[in-house]
Amino acid sequence: MLYIAVRMLLGDRAKYAGLIFGIAFTSFLVTFAASYFTGFMTRGFALISENDYAQVWVMDPAVRSVEQTTNLPGWALGRVRSVDGVLAARPLALGTAEARFADGRFQSFQVIGVDDAALAGAPALSGGLARDLLRAPDAVALAAGGTSGKIDTPLQRADQWPRNMARSDVPIRELAGGDELLVNDRLVRVAGLAAALPRFPPRPLLYAPLGRALAILSPGRRQITFVLVTAAPGVPAATLAARIEARTGLRARTADDFKADTVRWFLVNSEDVGDIASMLILAMSVGFGVTGVMLYMFTIEALPHYAVLSTMGATRATLLAMIFAQAGMAALVGTGLGLGLCAIAGQFARMAAYPFRIMWYTPVAGAAMVLLVSVVAAVLSARPVFKLQPVQVFAGR
C-alpha cells in the first residue's frame, strides 16, 4: 500500500513539485538562519577564542560578555597573581579610540592593549611577520575585524595627509606596514596587519602593547579590562576560577563559561536575534502554507482512489499511513535539496565575509522544522480521508 501511495504522489508532477518546493524552502531558510546565528555568535566571542591560552578570565562582577565591559581596579592584577594555582596572569585592556587616516577621514577602532612583556593577546601578523615588531616605538597592528574598506588609505603618497579636507575620490589600498595614523592625536606606525578573527558586530581593531594602548586611550584610574589567567599544571580551570572569586571578590569565568555568557548576552540584547526569529517564522509560514495546501489538494483529488481502496478493505490506519508516507517522501527529498542549497549559499556568504557557520545542529534544526511542518500538513490532509464515505464519492457527491 505504501508503494501505491508513492506512485500516486509521483503521478501528479505539478503538486509533487509544489510540495518539494515548500519543504526545500523551509529546510533552506531554517538551516541558513541557524547557521547565520551560529556564525555571529562565534564572532561575538572571537576575543576569547583568540586568547586560547587563557583558561580563566577575570573581570568586574558586573561584566557578562566581551561586548559590554568596564575596567578593573588597579589592584586586580596583583591580587589575582597572588592566588594559589595561578601560573600566569596577564592584563588585557579594551577601549575605543578615533583614528585619522592619511586621506583626512577618521574611523573608530577598538583598541586592544596586550601584555607588554609577552605580547600575549596579540594575534600573529600576516605575511609571516614577527609580533616582536610591536615592540618598536609607536608600533601598532591593525585588523579589519570583519569590516570592509574601513582600513584603506590613498594609494599615492601625494594624496595623503591633505591640509583642508578628506579625499574620497583617489585610488586606495589597504593599510600596510610603515603607514602612519593619528590615534587620539597620537602618531602611531603600522607594524603590520594582524590575523585577527572577525568580530560581531564588525569593527576595525588596533593592537598595541599595554603601555602604548593606555597612552592612546583616555587616562583613567581603572585601566585594565580583563586579567587572563593560565592555571598551574594539575589545577582545573573551574576550581581556579572559584578560588579567584573567593579571594578577590572579582568575577572569574573559564573560557568556555565566558563564551556561553556572551552568547546569552547576545540572545537578550542583540537585535539580530529578532531578525533570525523573523526568518524562522517566515520559513515556517511559507513552508506550512505551500506544503499544507499542496498536500491537501492532492488528497482531495485522490479521494476516489482512497474510496476504492476503502471498499477493497483498506482500514483508516492504512489510509493514514499512505498519507504520511507521501508526506515523508516529500519531506526527505525536500530536506536534502534545502540543505544542499544552504551549503552552496553558505560558500557565497563566506566569500562575502558574512558570519556564516554550519554546525552539526543546524541541519538538525532544519530537518526538525521540516518534520513539524510535514506532520501538521499530513494530519490536516488526513481529515477528508477520515470523513470519507465511498458511496458518496462514487455517486459524485
Q: In this model, does residue 88 exceed pLDDT 90? A: yes
From the number of C-beta atoms within 10 Å of its C-beta (0-12, 13-18, 19+), residue 313 rates as exposed
pLDDT at 165: 57
pLDDT at 244: 96
Q: In this model, does residue 255 exceed pLDDT 80? A: yes
Residue type, 139: A
Helices (H), ranges, the chain = 2-11, 13-44, 46-50, 76-81, 210-216, 237-248, 255-269, 271-301, 303-311, 316-351, 361-386, 390-394
* CA–CA distance, 266 with 256 (Å, rounded to integer): 16
Of residues 222 and 239, the one with the higher pLDDT is 239
pLDDT at 13: 78
pLDDT at 352: 78
Q: In this model, does residue 168 exceed pLDDT 70? A: no
Residues 6+ apart with CB under 8 A from 269: 67, 68
* CA–CA distance, 159 with 143 (Å, rounded to integer): 23
Q: Which long-range contacts (CB under 8 A, 24 or more apart) does 11-20 make?
A: 12/298, 12/301, 15/294, 15/297, 15/298, 16/330, 18/290, 18/293, 18/294, 19/290, 19/291, 19/294, 19/295, 19/298, 19/330, 19/334, 20/330, 20/333, 20/334, 20/337
* CA–CA distance, 313 with 311 (Å, rounded to integer): 5
Q: Which helix (H) or strand (E) holds 155?
A: none
Task: Give the range with max mean pLDDT: 13-27, 109-123, 299-313.
Answer: 109-123
Range of lowest pLDDT (69-73, 332-336, 367-371): 367-371
pLDDT at 164: 52
Residues 6+ apart with CB under 8 A from 69: 59, 60, 63, 94, 225, 226
Q: In this model, does residue 294 exceed pLDDT 90? A: no
Rounded alpha-carbon distances, angstroms, from residue 140 to 134, 215, 384: 6, 12, 72
Nearest 10 degrees: Cα torsion 120, 123, 125, 130: 20
* CA–CA distance, 53 with 279 (Å, rounded to integer): 37
Query: Cβ of 182: how many Cβ atoms within 10 Å?
Result: 15
- Per residue in 370-393, pLDDT (tens digit) is 888 888 888 888 877 777 666 555
pLDDT band at 331 (very low <50, low <70, confident <90, very high): confident
Q: In this model, does residue 229 exceed pLDDT 60? A: yes
pLDDT at 161: 65
Phi first, then psi: give them for residue 127, nearest 5 degrees: 80, 15
pLDDT band at 316 (very low <50, low <70, confident <90, very high): confident
Range of lowest pLDDT (11-15, 66-70, 189-193, 237-241): 11-15
Range of lowest pLDDT (35-49, 60-74, 265-279): 265-279
Q: Which helix (H) or strand (E) holds 249?
A: none
- Per residue in 94-116, pLDDT (tens digit) is 999 999 888 778 899 999 999 99
pLDDT at 50: 92
Percent of all residues in the chain with a pLDDT value above 70, rounded to a whole number: 93
Share the mean pLDDT of the chain: 86
Rounded alpha-carbon distances, angstroms, from residue 26 to 247, 291, 308, 348: 52, 10, 34, 20
Rounded alpha-carbon distances, angstroms, from residue 218 to 82, 203, 209: 29, 19, 15
* CA–CA distance, 153 with 30 (Å, rounded to integer): 40
Average pLDDT over residues 156-163: 66
